[in-house]
Amino acid sequence: MAAQVVHLASNIEQEISRPLANFPPTVWGYDFASLPSFNSEIETYTKKVEVLKEMVKDMLLFSKEDLIKNIEFINLLCRLGVSYHFEKEVEKQVDYIFNVFHGAIDNNYDLHTVALLFRVLRQHGYKISCDVFKRFKDSDGKFSETVSNDVKGILSLYEATFVSMRGEDILDEALAFARPRLESLAMQSSPHLKKHIENALNMPFHRGLPRVEARKFICFYEKEEPHNETLLKFAKLDFNRVQLMHKQELGVVSRWWKELDLAKDLPYARDRIVEGYFESAGLQFEPKFALSRIRLTKCIQILALVDDTYDSYGTLEELKCFTDALERFHNIAT
Please state the rounded mean pLDDT for residues 36-61. 97
Q: Is residue 37 scored above 80 in pLDDT?
A: yes
Residue 97 is predicted with a pLDDT of 92
Of 167-181, 212-226, 260-274, minimum mean pLDDT range:
260-274
Helix (H) / strand (E) containing 234: helix 229-260
Q: Are 182 and 197 in contact (CB under 8 A)?
A: yes
Residue 226, preceding peptide bond in cis (omega within 30° of 0): yes
- Distances from the Cα of 162 to the Cα of 76, 125, 207, angstroms: 18, 14, 9
Is the pLDDT score of 328 beyond 70? yes
Which of 272, 269, 277 minimizes the C-alpha distance to 253? 277
Task: Give the pLDDT score at 11.
Answer: 42
User: Mind giving me the DSSP string for 75-115?
Assistant: HHHHHTT-GGGGHHHHHHHHHHHHHHHHHTTTS---HHHHH
pLDDT value of residue 61? 96
Q: In the structure, what pLDDT confidence band is assigned to residue 6 with cuts at 50, 70 and 90?
A: very low
Mean pLDDT on 249-264: 94
Domain segments of the chain as ranges:
28-37+240-333, 39-237
Biggest alpha carbon–alpha carbon distance for the chain: 88
CA distances from 58 to 231, 239, 255, 301 (A): 11, 20, 42, 43
pLDDT at 216 > cutoff 50: yes
User: Quick one: pLDDT at residue 56?
Assistant: 98
Q: What pLDDT was estimated at residue 7?
A: 45
Fold of domain 39-237: Glycosyltransferase (1.50.10)
Supply the pTM of this predicted model: 0.88
C-alpha distances (whole Å) from 314 to each of 54, 100, 271, 295 are 57, 62, 18, 27
Which range, of 40-49, 274-283, 296-305, 311-320, averages the lowest pLDDT? Answer: 311-320
Query: With pLDDT > 70 as the criterion, what percentage of the chain qualifies?
Result: 93
* Per-residue H/E/C for 266-294: CCCCCCCHHHHHHHHHHHCCCHHHHHHHH
Bridge partners (DSSP) of residue 57 are: none
CB neighbourhood size of 305 (10 A): 20
What's the CA gap between 257 and 241, in Å, rounded? 25
Q: What's the CA gap between 193 and 42, in Å, rounded?
A: 33
Average pLDDT over residues 132-150: 90
C-alpha span between 247 and 270 (Å, rounded):
22
Residue 103 has pLDDT above 80, yes or no: no
Predicted confidence (pLDDT) at residue 16 exceeds the cutoff of 80: no
User: Could you read off the pLDDT of 77-101 as tens digits, one per residue?
Assistant: 999 999 999 999 999 999 999 988 7
Contact 254, 35 (CB under 8 A): yes
- CB 205 within 8 Å of CB 159: yes
Q: What are phi and psi of 142, to 5 degrees?
A: -110, 155
Rg (CA), the chain: 26
pLDDT of residue 18: 79
